[in-house]
Amino acid sequence: MKKLGVTKAPWTGGLIQEVRVRQFFARVAMTFNFGTVMRDYRPYPGSDTETSALVADRWRKPGDELTTDIPRIATGGANTYREFVTRYSSNSIMSADNVRLSEVMVGFNLPNQYLKRYGLGTFTMTLQVQNIAYWARNKYHLDPSVVSFDGRIGNPLPKIYSCNLSLNF
């Protein structure tokens, strides 16, 4: 056994920067994870349940092992050891280090002189975007937050747009 890394990042953190000018404000939030690894999915072309498009890049003739890691289709039936070695070998390990721009928010507070006329306490309006961008240190630029333990890739995180109004009496 060879230790190839950890799946829980030992170095994590974030930065939140907020700026206020009179009644306007802006906030940016970033997070980071370093020192972690994840798996790249390796299909096993030996079962009828494998539907990955990567099977098209499998070994077909001698010399193909120089250009692909996907083994040829098994002709001798199911082989769980071969499948295990294919999916969990060291060549499927890649970096999961990432930096994420997780939130940008801009807003304003209506000055009190306008609110007191109508018996209001505060009025705040914000525009916010979440899951804006990320940088990942791997050759496929995969977002580690959507990759499962065996390397299967899920749906990307959606960008979330919101407008918030807060009115206090």
List, as one string, the DSSP characters of 112-124: HHHHGGGT--EEE
How far separated are the first and last CA of the chain, in Å rounded?
65
Per-residue pLDDT tens digits for 75-116: 666 667 767 777 777 878 899 999 999 999 999 998 877 778
Nearest to 146 by CA among 38, 13, 12: 38
Residues 104-161: tens digit of each pLDDT = 999 999 887 777 887 888 889 999 999 999 999 988 888 999 988 878 888 999 999 9
Do the beta carbons of residue 39 and residue 93 sit within 8 Å?
yes
Q: What is the pTM of this model?
A: 0.72
Gap between the Cα atoms of 39 and 1, Å rounded: 16
Q: Which helix (H) or strand (E) holds 132?
A: strand 122-136
Per-residue confidence (pLDDT) for residue 41, from 0 to 100: 77
Integer angstrom CA distances of residue 49 from 78, 82, 109, 135, 136: 11, 16, 57, 33, 30
For residues 93 and 95, give the distance between their C-alpha atoms in angstroms, rounded to a whole number.
7
d(CA 41, CA 142): 11
Both structure tokens of 167 = 């009115």
Task: Look up residue 153 and give its DSSP letter.
Answer: B
pLDDT score recorded for residue 77: 61
Give yes or no for a contact between 89 and 39, defined as CB atoms under 8 angstroms apart: no
Q: How high is the pLDDT of residue 136? A: 94
* Both structure tokens of 152: 């299967």
Give residue-wise pLDDT tens across range 30-86: 999 999 999 887 776 666 566 667 777 777 788 877 877 777 666 666 667 767 777
